[in-house]
Amino acid sequence: MSTQDEKMPLDFDECCNQMLEFGYEVSPSELHGLLSGVVCTGLKIRPDSIINLVIKHVDVESCSERNRETILTMYAFIEREMFSADSRYTLFLPDDELDMTQRVRSLAAWCQGYLVGFGTGSAQIKNNKFSPETEEALKDIVNISNLSDEFGDEDEVNEVAYAELVEYLKVAVLLMSSEMLAGTKKDS
């Protein structure tokens, strides 16, 4: 498989089952958002610190070796995608076959995780002043994180709106990561 066609090496449903199996009350989307938020800041973080961040976020005592491997695999994949030359970053969301309500909940959970990860990462950066574009994107992500279950039924208008939100978030994250990366290089 070429790197351009590389997909998340984890299956969404399997990841859901794995999280539940170990008592993590967090969706894979939220976990992906959390890790994406940290990666976006450009903060270099050790594997043990990544695991500790997740353990604290999901409010559990420990992490199994299987979950540790999943978390670190997801983190490494996000880094590769986010900083690739072809900007192929994607959000880890359920397939389109799932009903709209569940997909919207997953999208909101991704945003909630992202905000926690971004806040955690950016708090540790020397100069964490954001451009107006990043501040606007963060406000939009907060709004998306609060989407209600009343997003609507399975109709074409809602499918288009959902797809537009997902695409907007991809672009916003890539722009924010570019800004943060430029800022950390300037501070070095």
User: Is residue 28 pLDDT above 70, yes or no?
Assistant: yes
User: Is residue 53 pLDDT above 60, yes or no?
Assistant: yes
Between residues 182 and 128, the one the model is more confident about:
182
Between residues 188 and 134, the one the model is more confident about:
134
Q: How confident is the model at residue 92 (pLDDT cuts 50, 70, 90)?
A: very high
User: Is residue 81 pLDDT above 70, yes or no?
Assistant: yes
Angle among Cα 178, 182, 185 to the nearest 5 degrees reads 140
Between residues 3 and 155, the one the model is more confident about:
155
User: Is residue 122 pLDDT above 90, yes or no?
Assistant: no
Q: How confident is the model at residue 21 (pLDDT cuts 50, 70, 90)?
A: confident
Please say whether the dihedral angle defined by the alpha carbons of residues 171, 177, 181 and 187, taken in this order, is positive or negative.
Answer: positive
Q: Which pair of tokens denotes residue 173? A: 């994250």
Cα(51)–Cα(34) distance, integer angstroms: 12
pLDDT number for residue 77:
93
Distances in whole angstroms, Cα of residue 122 to Cα of each of 67, 82, 130, 154: 25, 16, 10, 37
Q: How many residues does the chain have?
A: 188
Q: Are 56 and 99 in contact (CB under 8 A)?
A: no
Mean of the per-residue pLDDT values for the chain?
A: 85
Q: What integer is the mean pLDDT of 41-56? A: 92
pLDDT number for residue 149:
66
Q: What integer is the mean pLDDT of 43-52? A: 92
Closest CA to 20 of 47, 74, 58: 58
What does the pLDDT look like over 36-46, one tens digit per residue? 999 999 888 89
- Burial class of residue 97, CB neighbours in 10 A (0-12, 13-18, 19+): exposed
pLDDT number for residue 183:
67
Q: Kindly list the structural domains of the chain, giving each domain's residue range(s) and its CATH number in brackets, ordered by start.
A: 8-181 (1.20.120.740)
pLDDT number for residue 5:
47
